[in-house]
Structure 1
Amino acid sequence: MLHGLWSPGAGLTLWDDEITTGDEPDLPAAHSHVLSRTFRHRVRVAFPAADGGEPQLAQVPAIALAPMDAVDLLLRTPESHALISGDLRYLAHVARGIERWVRAGRVVPALELMDGQWWPRWRLVGGERQRAWLSELAVAMPPVQRAQERPKKILEDITRELTDPIVRSILGRPDSEHSLLSALVRDDPYADGTQQIAALLDKWRGTLTVDEPSLVLRLLEPDDDSEGADESEDEPFWTLQVCLRADGEAPVPVPMSRKVDATLLSTAVRKLGEAVAAYPRLRDLPSEEGTLDLLLPTSVVIDLVEHGATALQATGTTVLLPRAWTRLDPSMRLRVESPAVTKAAADRAVGMDELVSYDWQLQLGDMVLSEAEMNRLAVSKGDLVRLRGQWVLADGGQLARAAKYVAQHHGDGTPLSKLMREMTLADPPPAPVEDIRATGWAATLLEPGASPEPIPMPEGVNAVLRPYQQRGLDWLAFMSRLGLGAVLADDMGLGKTLQVLTLLAHERSTTPTLLVAPMSVVGNWKREAEKFTPGLRVMVHHGPARLGGEELDKAIAEHDLIVTTYALMAKDREQLSEQTWRRVVLDEAQHIKNAGTVQAKAALAIPAEHKLALTGTPVENRLDELRSILDFANPGMLGRPTDFRKRFSVPIEREKDEGAVTRLRAITSPFILRRVKTDPTVISDLPDKNEMTVRSNLTAEQAGLYKAVVDEMMAQIADAKGMKRKGAVLSALTRLKQVCNHPAHFLSDGSPVLKRGQHRSGKIGLVEDMLDAILGDNEKALLFTQFREFGEIVAPYFAERFGTEVPFLHGGVTKAKRDAMVESFQSEGGPPIMMLSLKAGGTGLNLTAANHVVHLDRWWNPAVENQATDRAFRIGQRKNVEVRKLLCVGTVEERIDSMLESKKDLADLAVGTGENWVTEMDTAELRELFRLSEDAVGE
């Protein structure tokens, strides 16, 4: 008969009492094969005595099996067999039990140090059910096995040695790129193993409670509910109630009673011991009589909540606080008082020098604290105190700093500019600013949702304002009346032009307004003024024949609105600065987003009673751009660029600091009016905009050029650093986009669009199909590209292909020709296709005759692309707008698009996307970003 014995350190050994080598017993094939081996080992076996006395020990020949061989044999051992002994069938039963735990997923990895190398090993996860299973096995263990060692030690050794090979027999050898997982499934050493990793895996295994109830410690308040109990001489004790919670059930207290299930009580005691070991401050505390509950002084309660709960959570223990008690984080409230009638009422707008009075207040939750309460909390012995009938936990140190801040920061008759600079440049409040309340005109300025005094529709305005445009007019008039600079940041197409013209008609100032705009929209301002406010006297200051000297001075005095360009504002800065202006308006104010440019400096140098910036994109790439625009509107309000960068740009853009976001929004929102066209409360009758990403394949010619560019770049950056490396990456990115557009664009060799009647570019073939369908429905399309040379290739081809004129608007087109292009395209019989360069055609134009927008190549800046799209998706559009953004499959275009789609902006404040971030990638990331996928090439 075949026997089996497990010895810790030696593993499974087989021996027999009758079978000898060479016999052919009726055994399973696996067992017969094992018996064909030589019995090289000796094992000590305890034979029962015939008289029932002490077992007799004897050394017998045996066969020793490695763990994997042992698993193979045991899992093939039948549950009953005449020639297989009970002791071997017992070991097979243990192995099959381990296999069931493994197939149930109750295993975790561990690391063991053997012969100087770290070896990954699979271990059972443990838990109450596994412990119960092992206890049952220990009771059923055969006597011959018990004679080797204590049953518990034998079973621990069996499960330790057999779990790993059983897992591997089930997993097989799947491919894995992760070195630890690869070592786990292949039984290889783990080269990166350390004692720290081994300890972390053991700690993780200890947190997996699996099926046993979890420990819950419920904190109960003292019975004494009197106010100021925390100040009494006899310190109250809190009860920490010990509970167990089964999965999906409520926590149940565990009293020390005979009626309590012994297993549950044992589990509670064991887990409470683990909790005390994890959080030693629970040691040596008094307990409630007849229970496991602990009695805690207030000092321990505070430490439990602030520190102990985290340590206990790591052991799987939950800490429940009383419902009536929660940690209250302090916050700040600002109260501003202003006179109901301002100095500006006497036609003397003083702007940021307007006087206000202000005070800071401290609140906990919804409670605004009095001075006495603040002082009591700030000097209390601990952070847990009674306040207005409830226990409050708050950071005493933070409360002390907040109380000091409240005492030091207040003012009567303070200029508004000083208050704004204090919020911008001074050390931030020690707690978040969550509420601003004000009186008088300051309420309209500072309180969110406050509405200024409605303005009646001025005479001589040939338009009906939409409700949101009326609110814009009211706000502009309010800011103008106070002399406060403003930023009207409505989305493109929502009518900023009309709102400003209506404001001028409302004021009827005898002092003219200077309006600065990109050259592409100068004519638009003049036409819109003639259309909506014909009573306004408008003069365009532009061109080589423009007025100068005394003639310009005289002409300015005779007009209400002077329209010029950014370039001429800088060029004629000296004379424009000598004029008296009621207002300076910057249209497309992102032109001064860089404070150091000549244009930005010129805008700051021109004095005016009121300054107004118009932009659909107040932040394109960096928060410094917002600072530059607001610095024009209210000089000095946000401090110097270095101060702003330290206080806001770096914390928000790099560190995603929500507190800095909140502070910046509180400071800037009073001076910015932002509405978006996708908000149905703003405008409900604009048609839908359907945006989609359309993918095309490369041709074989494009694929060959693409690979060549990538190989060249990787060779260039192999040893390059700094600007040389960045330059090589950006150059490659530009060239790859050219390849994706068309080989002729990349090669610049004047070669044709088609080759032997076939498209050389997958993109152009796809766009041609799109235009076939668009023109077949008698609709119009705008085609945007960032490359002028690409437009000069494509526009003539589409003109010939569809037998129509395809105008191409780019930076080299004169103003007169540009206006003619727009007017022709907008006319009913005008060309159905218009090509535009992204920058020259991206702002100010009204091209609502088109309801299809195609971005041939990507600038990777959503703000810029949306500006271009808004040439068609704006007021006046009556059809649904279809926006298609083209990408080439399996190329850098597709990968960058995927990365940007998954990136979320921070609270609508940051940070647009350009392309420079690509240069910061390491070489491996660049190789992956730029690589050409196998599915990139079409048929």
Structure 2
Amino acid sequence: MLVSHATWHGGALCLWAERTGRYEPDPDVHPYATRDFTGTSYEPLTRGAFRIELTMALPTHDDHPAPSAELGPEPYEGDPELREWRIPALVLEPLAAMALLQAAEDSGDVIPGTDLRYLCLLADEAAHLTARGLVLPSLLREDGDLMARWRPVIDDTARFRALVEAMPAACRAADGGRPAAEVLREALSGLVDTIVRGTVPHPLLPPRRGKVPDRVPLSERWFEALTGPNPAIAREPHDNPDELIAELDAWAAAARRPSGPLRVCFRLAEPGAEEFTTEEQELFPDEKPEPAEPDGWRVEFALQGTEDPSLYVPAAMVWSGDATSVAGAEETLLAGLGRALRLFPDMAPALDSPIPAEVTLDTAGAFRFLRQAAPMLAAAGFGVLLPQWAGKAKLGMKLTTRTDEPAEGSGAAASSGFDLRGLVGFRWDLAIGEETIDEAELEELARLKTPLVRLRGQWVELDEEQLEAALDFLRHPRTGKMTAAQAMQAVIHAGEEHLPLTQVDADGTFGDLLSGEADRRLQPMPSPEDLNATLRPYQERGLSWLTFMNDLGLGALLADDMGLGKTAQTLALLAHERENGKQPAPTLLVGPMSLVGNWQREAAKFTPKLRVYVHHGTGRHRGEDLVEAVRRVDLVLTTYGTAARDAEMLAEIEWERVVCDEAQALKNSGTRQAKAVRSIPARSRIALTGTPVENHLTELWSIMEFANPGLLGPRAVFRERFAVPVERDGDERAALALKRATQPFILRRLKTDKSIISDLPEKQEIKVYCNLTTEQASLYQATVDDMLAQIAEADEKQRRGLVLATMAKLKQVCNHPAHLLKDGSRLQGRSGKLERLEEICEEVTEQGEKALVFTQYAEFGSMLQPYLASRLDRPVRWLHGGTSKQQRDELVQHFQEDPEPGIFLLSLKAAGTGLTLTAANHVVHVDRWWNPAVEDQATDRAFRIGQTKNVQVRKFICVGTMEERIDEMIERKKALAESIVGTGEDWLTELSVAELRDVLRLSPEAVSD
């Protein structure tokens, strides 16, 4: 396997790769690094690259660099240290670098690493800025030379900060490293410059006629260098670039300058011609589409409040003196119009007037304003007011299908009377909004050759490409028969930029499936007799839906919220099959190791007649023994790791279905684990996960690729069509198309929805603020002082390691001095957190209840367990990463079944998922992981179905310390919390020294009296 990596260094993209099984004898050279992409899809783009050697500080274990996440779990224990490694790399030419970043996808030969994926995101961001016109030309001095460059205008500061915080350290780690914000600006500038040069024709100016003058002005040479491959400007004697540089810098500053309390606003007013209402169109059906009046469009100028858009002052009022109460109105209007001219050049004639108030446009000009000027003006901070119909009524395709009887011999599912091989009648139509249009109307639109027409009482935008696509559409057969499978593919993949699929009208079961209403319209199935449980109504609908999808041969993604009983619904499906006389091939269930025991217990409890075999551990069957063992059972349980190792053996067995629990484990489609699970053939597949999308939409594609291989098309196409438009642009049309493409295969219910489950108790979250003891405060301050002293002398690569090490030490100080000192000293009376934890545990046990206590540190848990047991005078269970599977199962069983009150101490990493611990109705997070999703998953060990009491969740925070300030920062950035803290505390290393000092400082209120 080859994992590609990239960093931005020296104004260019530097590419290298990590290869398994490679070794360099030089102890300072990264042992697995290579720049050889021979025979891979990257080779054509790397042929013109030149070779360099980078020095990068990378996480290191035992003199070996930590492997990339794409190569699987780390085989090392403990925290890594940062160490410098020499890495052979390639510097790509700008156009080749952009081509790579726009095409880098998981493939059979190369998997992009996290750093390269991030730079791919930056390439998308640069393309987005360029498409919106948020670029400006500049003149720069680089190593004594003059360079003509394009640079981005970054108008969304929140987006910029999010990109800074999300930058992997490897992107900026070369040769000592640099601040992330500096690298981000440099990378965006380089990428924007490359995109513009690849888009704008060269040369922009026509060649001079006649004799070329002896001296070409610097401005012309600069303008010439803005296009083409070479940004260097030929120098001539007596060149003085300072004036041009200052003028261009002022332009850039004006583009970023806030507009104050008022901004210039542009309002598009449509022609005053009479319009046909829907009722009038019904009375006069023979009326033809009408073009807009050639000179009837107006763009009116006005001033608008930036904070209160309802404050609207037309330019005519400004010039008439009726707006004298608005300070500086005339100056603001003229200055704003001048700035807007480069974005809206069609208004130039209006500026010849001393009192510009509006500009009159023909139809083509109005269309240019709608499509080009209006979006750029809005992006630049100007107000834009458009008619209500603008952007709504679009020309698109409508698919109508009607279900026929199943094809003879198709083996239609008896339960639904329908399967994917059954035939449906189809009809394709053209539609604008909700209205279909016929061929005659389309030909009339094409004849008018105007981009804005009035059709059936509404204005419609049409361009030449749309009309051409529509006319081509009419040349193909638009009615007939096709299988339901073909109809499904048509719905998912039909449509393109100029002629999207805007409507689907399907009847019967197929319509229910496409509409996502199948789970509600299917008859709920009662609990199977062989199921030792009574399913809730929503679970009966889930069973019905799983059976329905299974009968159709479609893969299903059961995405019910955590705790709603995905396990019970899946076991009910297996019991239903046996009850109805079906004896299919066995089912293979793949899940995390922590869940295998849970599945084994749940199967024994709810479906005791199911024969279960656990394929895991050194004693597991292999070869023919495995085949024979599988033949005798109904359900085989295994782990993702075992499935990856035994993929070839498992692929040789006939499976009825493969089920993946916690299917987010498949979110990275290029990993060995995901590829192995996808390679196991089965008649159908089910993915179970409460978090189908954790960070990016391509994770949903990866899970769906397991459930229904090929249904959503190649990953690159999915990313281009759905992921990028939805995530980057908030494209509602792409989001709607994605929903239509995926909702037939996804069933998602939330436990907070009272219509789904009304008897789940409430969850109350409480922040418990604790004080430090004097000893803790002294250790805390000493740790901060030591770090700040070291960081002042450290370079960038050492700084990151110092910050992370300090954060860990301070969290340990907040827990207990003995946790930091590791001296085995006494615990009592030395920690505010421990004192409060002891009080809460005593209250819980005195009330006859149970509590889960989570810590992220196994060593601290090992200190707490005997101490709490002696203080509470009762056993305290302790589950951590070193607990064997058998011990783990016994601990869980005893805790759930023991009628006595109790405390269960758990390591967050080892026990945060996969356990049902509803015997507890109290959850305590002693120290914080600073990832809300991780903490919520741990809390859901208790807050899930089976819980009959209200759950109290307490999160410990030491007041006046970095714990309180980081909690406040996360609360302020709630929307971005997951992306900010998803990788732990790395984002804190980006803070400046002043910001670190403020975050880590010890406040007087931190220490108890």
Q: Report the TM-score, using the length of structure 2 for normalisation.
A: 0.61
Shift of 1:588: 2.3
The answer as to 2:878 corresponding to 1:808 is: yes
- Cα deviation 1:582-635 (Å, max 9, x = unaligned): 112122223333444444333223221111121222233444443332222223
DSSP-derived class of the 2:412 partner: helix
1:399 to 466, 472, 484: 466
Quote how far apart the aligned CAs of 1:677 are. Answer: 0.6
**Aligned equivalent of 2:394:** 330
Identity of aligned residues (%): 44
| Superposed CA RMSD | 5.1
Stretch moving more, 450-459 or 465-474: 450-459
How far has the Cα of 1:781 moved from its partner?
0.7
Q: What does the per-residue CA deviation read over 1:851-872, in whole Å, with 9 as the maximum and x for residues that have no partner?
A: 1111122223333322211111
Compared CA separation, residues 249 and 687, structure 1 to 2 (3 A): closer
2:676 to 602, 616, 633: 602
Q: Does 1:932 align with 2:932?
A: no
Q: Do the aligned partners of 2:750 and 2:756 also contact (CA within 8 Å) in 1? A: yes
1:686 counterpart residue number? 760
CA deviation after TM superposition for structure 1 residue 562, in Å: 2.2
Question: Structure 1, residues 659-717: CA drift from partner, whole Å, max 9, x if none?
Answer: 55444433333222121111111101101111233332333443444445555555359
Per-residue CA deviation, residues 719-775 of structure 1 (Å, 9 max, x unaligned), is 5456x6655544444333333322322333323223xxx22x332222223223322
Q: 1:790 to 1:221 in 2, by over 3 A?
A: same
Q: Which moved more, 1:650-659 or 1:769-778?
A: 650-659
Residue correspondence of structure 1 range 556-575 to structure 2 within 5 A: 556-575=630-649
Contact 1:216 1:251 in 2 (8 A): no
Q: For 1:438-837, list aligned pairs within 5 A.
A: 438-439=506-507, 441-451=509-519, 453-454=522-523, 456-457=525-526, 458-508=528-578, 509-510=582-583, 511-639=585-713, 660-710=734-784, 715=790, 720-721=795-796, 726-754=800-828, 758-759=829-830, 761-837=831-907
> Is the 1:785–1:857 Cα contact (8 Å) retained in structure 2?
yes
* C-alpha spacing 1:297/1:583, structure 2 compared with 1 (3 Å): closer
Q: Are the structure 2 counterparts of residues 401 and 468 from structure 1 closer, same or farther at C-alpha, using a change threshold of 3 Å?
A: farther
Q: Which residue of 2 aligns with 1:914?
A: 983
Structure-2 change in CA distance of 1:871 and 1:392 (3 Å): same
Q: Call closer, same or farther: CA 1:217–1:539 in 2, change over 3 Å.
A: closer
Aligned equivalent of 1:384: 452
- Per-residue deviation, 1:235: 5.4
In 2, the alpha carbon distance for the partners of 1:733 and 1:890 equals 15
Secondary structure of 1:562's partner? Answer: strand
Secondary structure of 1:840 counterpart: helix
Report whether the alignment pairs 1:893 with 2:963: yes
The DSSP-based 3-state class of the residue aligned with 1:824 is: helix
Are positions 1:341 and 2:406 aligned together?
yes
Q: CA deviation at 1:538?
A: 2.7
Q: Which amino acid aligns with 2:768?
A: V
Q: 1:923 to 1:695 in 2, by over 3 A?
A: same
Aligned equivalents of 1:924, 1:372: Cα separation in 2: 70
Residue 74 of structure 1 is matched in structure 2 by none
Matches within 5 A, 1:61-76: none
Tell me the distance in 2 between the aligned counterparts of 1:923 and 1:252: 44
Following the alignment from structure 2 to structure 1, what is the Cα–Cα distance between the partners of residues 494 and 427?
15
Distance 1:383 1:729, change over 3 A: farther
1:806 touches 1:831 (CA, 8 Å); kept in 2?
no
Counterpart CA distance in 1 for 2:722 and 2:377 is 37
SS in 1 for 2:701: helix
Determine the C-alpha separation between the residues in 2 that align with 1:255 and 1:862. Answer: 54
Q: Specify whether residues 565 and 936 from structure 1 end up closer, same or farther in structure 2 by C-alpha distance, changes over 3 A only.
A: farther
Judged with a 3 Å threshold, the aligned counterparts in structure 2 of structure 1 residues 351 and 276 are, in CA distance, closer, same or farther, namely: same
Structure 1 pair 252/425, CA: closer, same or farther in 2 (3 Å)? Answer: closer
- The question of 1:869 aligning with 2:939 is answered yes
1:206 touches 1:315 (CA, 8 Å); kept in 2?
no
Q: For residue 904 of structure 2, give the secondary structure of its aligned residue in structure 1.
A: strand
Relative to structure 1, the CA distance from residue 521 to residue 244 in structure 2 (aligned partners, 3 Å threshold; closer, same or farther) is closer
Q: Considering only CA atoms, is the larger Rg found in Structure 1 or Structure 2?
A: 1
Shifted more, 344-353 versus 822-831: the winner is: 344-353
Structure 1 residues 712 and 442, CA gap change in structure 2 (3 angstroms): farther
Give the Cα separation in 2 of the matches to 1:601 and 1:201: 47
C-alpha separation in 2, matches of 1:861 and 1:637:
34
Q: CA deviation at 1:926?
A: 5.8
Offset at residue 415 of structure 1 (A): 7.8
Structure 2: distance between partners of 1:466 and 1:929: 52
Which range moves more in the overlay, 805-814 or 744-753?
A: 744-753
Q: Deviations over 1:56-104 (max 9, x none)?
A: xxxxxxxxxxxxxxxxxxxxxxxxxxxxxxxxxxxxxxxxxxxxxxxxx
How many Å separate the matches in 2 of 1:862 and 1:502?
32
Question: What amino acid is the match of 1:444?
Answer: D
Residue deviations 1:246-276 (CA, integer Å, cap 9, x gap)? 99999999999xxxx99769999x9899799
Is the 8 Å Cα contact of residues 557 and 745 (structure 2) preserved in structure 1?
yes
Aligned to 2:835, the other structure's residue is in SS state: helix
Q: What secondary structure, in the 3-state scheme, does the structure 1 residue paired with 2:825 have?
A: coil
Moved more, 554-563 or 353-362: 353-362
Deviation at 1:916, TM superposition (A): 6.1
CA distance in 1, matches of 2:541, 2:497: 33
**Stretches of structure 2 lacking an aligned partner (at least 5 in a row):** 1-245, 277-283, 342-346
Q: What SS does the corresponding residue of 1:468 show, helix, strand or coil? A: helix
Cα distance in 1, alignment partners of residues 791 and 778 from structure 2: 19
Task: Judge conservation of contact 1:514–1:563 (CA < 8 Å) in 2.
Answer: yes
Structure 1 residues 557, 219: CA separation in 2 closer, same or farther (over 3 Å shift)? closer
CA drift of 1:295 comes to 8.1
Question: CA 1:769–1:207 in 2, change beyond 3 Å: closer, same or farther?
Answer: same
Deviation at 1:216, TM superposition (A): 9.1
SS at match of 2:935: helix
Q: CA deviation digits over 1:783-820, x for unaligned, max 9? A: 11222112111122211111111101112222222222
**When the two structures are aligned, how many residues end up with a matched partner?**
725
Partner of 2:924 in structure 1?
854
- 1:243: Cα distance to partner? 11
Contact 1:782 1:834 in 2 (8 A): yes
Structure 1 length-normalised TM: 0.65
Amino acid across the alignment from 1:934: S
Whether the 8 Å CA contact 1:542–1:568 is kept in 2: the answer is yes
Equivalence map 1:198-213=2 (5 Å): 207=262
